[in-house]
Amino acid sequence: MESTSEKVPRRGEFFILEAGTVSGPRCGVAFTNLDRLLSPPRLILLPEEGGIPPLREVPRLTFDPSDGPPPKDLEPGFSGYWLVSKRLHDVMTSIDSSAFAFTEVDYLIEDGIKGEARYLCTVVSVVDALDEDASTLLIDTSEEFINGKFYDLSGGASVTFARGKLGAAHVFRTPYTGTVFCDLAFREAVAAAGMAVDSDADGLWFIDASDI
């Protein structure tokens, strides 16, 4: 069904936060000990319940320039996790520490030299705060979804959130989609730390939630 009302989401209030670049090669960083971190039969490190599982050893990642460019502040696709830089990690923990789970990795660059601090990261904050009456989106209840419904944002949507339900949350998912959302305060904190927010130059892509 579609949910609409006379109210409309305000531009610049909430955003979808995506990782990586729209175009261009994947960075040249890869795990070198993933096989020793996985718990069979899992094929990725991120557990179904999310978060960071107990690890047998520190994740080790190595940058090989022959495989691609250096990592940006936010890189997706690391066995279910984002790979984040120290400056982005510091922004995340300063503005909404409860929204994320991290584990620092052993990050090596050329010739085995230790690189700057890098972290595997996942968003763990889940808040049921989407304002269905004020939003325009497809709410799919046609299948037996785990939480009873699914927010389908494909094909365009315009959504907003009830700030009273969000509380202190600045970065979060909803129970009905895996999409990561953030508010203007987080976007501004990223910009204040020197990272691009109007392009994906540093690996962060902000899509205005009022016009998806």
Instruction: For 61-107, write each residue's pLDDT tens digit.
Output: 999 999 999 999 999 999 999 999 999 999 999 999 999 999 999 99
168, 72, 87, 75: which is closest to 129 by C-alpha? 168
Report, as an integer, the average pLDDT of 159-173: 96
Percent of residues, the chain, with pLDDT higher than 90: 84
> Looking at residue 145, what is its pLDDT?
85
* Dihedral over alpha carbons 17, 19, 21, 25 (to 10 degrees): -170
Angle at 56 between CA 54 and CA 59, to 5 degrees: 90
Give the per-residue pLDDT at 178: 93
**pTM for the whole thing?**
0.92
Confidence of residue 157 (pLDDT cuts 50, 70, 90): very high
Q: Between the CA of residue 144 and those of 79, 100, 140, what are the distances in Å?
A: 27, 29, 10
The whole-number pLDDT of residue 7 equals: 65
Q: What is the pLDDT of residue 4?
A: 42
- Over residues 155-165, mean pLDDT: 93
Is the pLDDT at 164 greater than 90? The verdict is yes
pLDDT digits (tens, 9 = 90+) for 1-26: 444 444 678 999 999 999 987 667 88
Q: Is the pLDDT of residue 155 over 90?
A: no
- Yes or no: say if 102 and 119 are a contact pair by the CB < 8 Å rule: yes
CB 140 within 8 A of CB 116: no
What pLDDT is recorded for position 52?
Answer: 96
